[in-house]
């Protein structure tokens, strides 16, 4: 149904916006986090943590922010631009570390696979008598 599809798209887009600390700061400075209806909406959006919905997210850190937004203390701190800046910097550091670590893991897996392929080939040759001493 078109209405459900539109709602899905709007909620998907909004949940992903929560990954942006500057947007959270914007919402906090305009008083959205003091509005009980808005806070209840944030609670409702927790369904995005379910795998059947989370698979559509491009920015998984939005789920962590959504979880943190359930706490009043966190919502209050977001009024401070320095808090948003700190979160932004931490996200950048996380992604830099994650990218480097992922590249190292992929390289190690590729090397291991190449070794496995080489030893499998040698083993197959030995079994077929193609390797002579």
d(CA 19, CA 113): 36
Contact (CB, 8 A) for 75 and 33: yes
Predicted pLDDT at 12: 97
d(CA 83, CA 92): 14
Residue 14, pLDDT > 60, answer: yes
The model's pTM: 0.68
Q: Helix (H, G, I), strand (E, B), or coil: what is residue 27?
A: helix
d(CA 132, CA 129): 7
Domains and CATH numbers, the chain: 2-128 (1.10.10.1340)
Predicted pLDDT at 50: 97
Q: Which residues contact 86 (CB under 8 A, 6 or more apart)?
A: none
């Amino acid at each position: 149904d078109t209405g459900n599809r539109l709602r899905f798209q709007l909620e998907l887009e909004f949940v992903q916006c929560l990954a942006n600390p500057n947007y959270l700061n914007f919402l906090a400075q305009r008083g959205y986090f003091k509005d009980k209806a808005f806070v209840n909406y944030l609670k409702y959006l927790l369904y995005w943590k379910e795998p059947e919905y989370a698979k559509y997210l491009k920015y998984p850190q939005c789920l962590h922010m959504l979880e943190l937004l359930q706490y009043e203390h966190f919502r209050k701190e977001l009024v401070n631009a320095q808090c948003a800046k700190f979160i932004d910097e931490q996200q950048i550091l996380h992604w830099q570390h994650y990218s480097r670590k992922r590249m190292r893991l992929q390289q190690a897996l590729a090397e291991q696979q190449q070794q496995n392929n080489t030893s499998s080939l040698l083993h197959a040759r030995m079994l077929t008598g193609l390797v002579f001493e």
